[in-house]
Amino acid sequence: MSKRGLPTTFKLRHDLHYVEQLTGKPASSPIGLMVAIDKLAPNPNQPRTEFGDLSELIESIKEKGVLEPLLVRPSDVGGRYMIIAGERRYRASMEAGLTEVPCIELDVDDKAVAEISLIENLQRKDLTPFEEADGLQALNSRFGYTHEDIAKRIGKSRSSITEIISLSTMPLEVRDECRRADIGAKSVLLQIVRQPSVEEMIDLARKIGNTGLTRDEARQERKGSPLKLKASQYAYSARDGSFSVAVKFKGRDPQASDIEAALREALADLAGDGSNA
């Protein structure tokens, strides 16, 4: 394998790569090229902040080269390129001592950069729950995507998008507590972020870290009145009496999973475009 980053038996393809699959639309005039590694710069808005152990990727690149080109676009600085997708390959290539790497140059705007970068990472399942939540929130707040838009783009339900984005509201001190407690399961993190105050979030995170509570056990620790079921109706009243919620089901007695699904759908509608409001 040469220092140029391409396997000696490979030629760089000038095609759409997987861009159409990522964005759902054709990229305009993609160009395949070799780029000097010192002319590449990471995306400052890359959703990913943790890159994990690169040792296996480094060894693979040393042996076989970079099999999948990086996606780049011309930078504001002349002669340089910003990485849209492929920062792990870029970092591993530097460690492997490459001087050039294969790239696909795209002519795309900031909105498309954010979308491609996020979806590429999501498809690889490389993001932590917080990185995923912050990336989806950026699409929502910076580029005007509704929760429904995002759901269609990445193939998830709108309610799950609303749930994931809710993690982006978790304060930094709570996130730090979750990391110290080694809490990485999205379902458990969602139970923490639903606590009514920062102090209660931290308390629950510590309790989970100390006792290893499951998602269902963590749910039981959440503040509020116990579940009240009567025939086809679920009712909840806040401890301070400030509000109450009732959900009625037609023709059947609800299970806990039915109630949770109904409430999530209502919250998703409220947090989304509000079309049913």
Task: Name 36's bridge partners.
Answer: 100
Helix 158-166 and helix 129-143: axis angle, to 10°?
Answer: 110
Closest CA relative to residue 39, chosen from 1, 83, 89: 83
Closest CA relative to residue 2, chosen from 50, 86, 64, 51: 64
Residues 6 or more apart in contact with residue 9 via CB below 8 angstroms? none
- DSSP state, residue 162: H
Task: Name 259's bridge partners.
Answer: none
Closest CA relative to residue 145, chosen from 112, 109, 123: 112
Distance CA 11, CA 26 (A): 22
Q: What is the DSSP string of 94-153?
A: HHTT-SEEEEEE----HHHHHHHHHHHHHHHT---HHHHHHHHHHHHHHH---HHHHHHH
For the question of residue 217 being annotated catalytic, the response is: no
- The residue from 20, 63, 87, 199 that is catalytic is 87
Distance CA 214, CA 220 (A): 10
* 53, amino acid identity: D
Residues acting as catalytic residues: 87
